[in-house]
Amino acid sequence: MKKLLLLLLLFSSQAVYADTQIDFNNGIYHIILDKKKAAKGIDFVTVEDLETNKRIHQVTGATLTINAGFFDPNNKKTISYVNSKTTGDLDPLFNEALILNPQLRNNLDKILNRTEFRVLDCGAKKTFDIVSHDSPLPDGCLLLTSAQGGPMIYPYLRLEEEAFIIKDKDGNIVRESASVLHKTARTLIGLKDGIVHIFIITNENPMTMYEARELVKEYKLDKAMAFDGGSSTSLNYLNKINVISTENNGNDTGRRLKSFMIYKGK
């Protein structure tokens, strides 16, 4: 059985470190990134094998690091598209365990088109968006980096549309992914007036995806989505905050993951 081990080197209900605002309330971290620095400072990075969030945070020299896309821990291949500025891109079409899975074959198009977070260069400005993977880029914009996760949470909760729940012909749920209907830790990212908001929902206050939707709605976000969660939920901020996921084996370095969002605020 897996659990979330929360190590707090610094506790504060509200704090501002340099240009990053971090609130910790009722088991939830709410992080607001600097609007001007975020577009240049965000990158999604990947690893060939698997690695911990803490290790990636250290080797990249990031200000902030969180877990990103879904992956198969058995074959160590991605389930999510990731486009990186600095490391290799990830393509789930090369994951044979996903593509050849007979249980998923009829819903593969939905899985491959799950929601992603994008950083865009639109000439006069750099901006962000949260859209389905197949959504075209706006005219005059280039994709700088992106990571797919899902589901879209707000303004629409897209559980069936992204095959996080699959129903039979009678409307009964026959498959659930990412524990979307159960309370667990979550990693969420959203936008409000062009500003990036991140929520790390720890096991102190685990949520279903419906409850996660209500959370971002309370903050009046324009758009929001989930990254991988549960035992993958991870956060490192400078050397001050360390939220890690681990198994009950005495290992406190965290679960080994496939992709990460790093932010360099300098």
Please identify which residue in the block is written with the tokens 């969660």: 229
- 58-98 tens-digit pLDDT: 999 999 999 999 999 999 999 999 999 999 999 999 999 99
Give Cβ neighbours of residue 192 (< 8 Å, ≥ 6 apart). Answer: 219, 220, 221, 222
Gap between the Cα atoms of 7 and 116, Å rounded: 29
**For the chain, what are the domain ranges?**
2-263
φ and ψ at residue 45, rounded to 5 degrees: -115, 150
Q: Please give the model's pTM, rounded to 2 decimal places.
A: 0.92
19 confidence band (pLDDT: 50, 70, 90): confident
Residue 10 has pLDDT above 60, yes or no: no
Residue 6 has pLDDT above 60, yes or no: no
Q: Exposed, middle or buried: residue 49 (CB in 10 Å: 0-12, 13-18, 19+)?
A: exposed
